[in-house]
Amino acid sequence: MYTRKDKKRSSGSTGRHELSELGEFGLIDHLTKNVQIKNPGTIKGIGDDAAVINTGNKLMLLSTDLLIEGVHFDLTFMPLKHLGYKAAVVNISDIAAMNGVPKQMTVSIAVSNRFSVEAMEELYSGLLLACEKYHVDLVGGDTSSSVTGLLISVTITGEVSNEDVVYRNGAKEGDLLCVTGDLGSSYIGLLILEREKQVFKVNPNMQPELDGNEYVLQRQLKPEARTDIYNLLKGAGIHPTSMIDISDGLASEILHICKQSGVGCRLFEGKIPIDPQVKQQALDFNIIPSVCALSGGEDYELLFTVSQKDYEKIRILEGITIIGHMTSPAEGTKMITPDGVAIDITAQGWDAMKKRK
């Protein structure tokens, strides 16, 4: 689901402006800057993981994501069933990020005649598997032919009460910054798949070496959405002050929360949860492990803030890591290395608009 980011357009030039000048977030920001909300039922429009609609009883959440062959996925190593599953999960994750419960889904596909009916059956079997696991109803959509490749557009609804809903903009100075699960593993999975694809191109008789990489491959090919966190936090009596899902990388998501909440932050590099095996694999690729977490993306874990008074409650929860705290905006958005050096956090998150330059 899209969000705004105030990237400036290059000034001083006239005439045609290339899309790559703006990037994905910049383009959305530019195109939607004059959008005004008029219906009283529309509580939150553009700018969070999902739109929020007042239905008079509970709140309804609405989010949508587009997945395009050659941009978001590579069918040479992404089985269609996994792709269907993942297309559903990335949307379900947006609902989890609002502290909501996913409910209904529409799926539109555009497909070239390169694909068979059997291929579409595979894709749908993955979609329906995710729907079953997360108790989501597939309620509609659209299909069409495509000039090239495969495109999947998923829209999801969710439900949340007025008391439970969590936005990106509620973080306060002094709040604790927390994350679920571990980060960076999906990116390592992608690197391994891309490496094996290159090996296969050079020698098609080589079998891909995927043994021992099951965890990172599963994180990349069959991610799960953290819909369990809603109950975990509720059970512990914790209401997050802000929340976002990690699709573009930890750095990008932290900056979203800081900007929308009007706060700064201190992130402690040494606290970022990274699986020990993933750390080793990152080093094997000559990448600093924390960079996989900061810029890799596609982890679909939840990043959230809680009030400092909830410290005792949150620190005992399994699978949740406190990685920093929020500060005044004047203190900036910094990561503190294990040596105590403060580095500005910059979003090098995966940018679909720039990737194709």
Question: 8: burial class by Cβ within 10 Å (0-12, 13-18, 19+)?
Answer: exposed
- The tokens for 14 are 């006239």
Shortest Å distance, C-beta 22 to a second copy = 6
- The tokens for 158 are 């969710």
Q: Which of 103, 239 has the CB closer to a second copy?
A: 103
Distances from the Cα of 247 to the Cα of 6, 45, 59, 225, angstroms = 19, 20, 24, 11
Shortest Å distance, C-beta 198 to a second copy = 21
Shortest Å distance, C-beta 109 to a second copy = 8
At 70, give phi and psi (nearest 5°).
Answer: 90, -15
Shortest Å distance, C-beta 90 to a second copy = 10
Q: Is 23 left (phi over 0), alpha (psi -120 to 50) or beta?
A: left
Rounded CA separation 273/179 (Å)? 8
Shortest Å distance, C-beta 83 to a second copy = 14
Q: Which of 33, 197 has the CB closer to a second copy?
A: 33
Buried b / exposed e over 90-100, threshold 16 CB at 10 Å, is bbbbbbbbbbb
Q: Which of 88, 293 has the CB closer to a second copy?
A: 88
Shortest Å distance, C-beta 168 to a second copy = 13
User: Within 10 A of 257 (CB to CB), how many other CB atoms are there?
Assistant: 26
Q: Which of 151, 233 has the CB closer to a second copy?
A: 151
Q: Which of 128, 199 has the CB closer to a second copy?
A: 128
Q: Which of 99, 153 has the CB closer to a second copy?
A: 153
